[in-house]
Amino acid sequence: MAMIADTHHHALSHTLAAPFRALWSALLLIAEAKGCMAEVERLNRLSDADLAARGTSREEQVRRIFGVRAAI
């Protein structure tokens, strides 16, 4: 009987913590997006000639900034 109560308690605490985990995940996504957008703004200030002089292209930099998310 104690095992059932303990399992129920764990499930309840897990359920009660869910909104806080969701909020934390959302805050992390916002912080990550803000960093990416700052890099995109810096990239937009560079000309294609500047990027070529650095041995890179705009497409390569977008892939670097966004990583896997650039394909989505």
Sketch the domain layout of the chain as residue ranges: 2-71
| pLDDT (average), residues 21-28 | 91
The residue among 43, 46, 39, 36 whose CA lies nearest residue 69 is 36
Between 71 and 44, residue with greater pLDDT: 44
Q: pTM of the prediction?
A: 0.56
**Distance (Å, rounded) from C-alpha 42 to C-alpha 39?**
5
Q: What is the pLDDT of residues 6-22, one digit of tens each?
A: 555 567 888 888 899 99
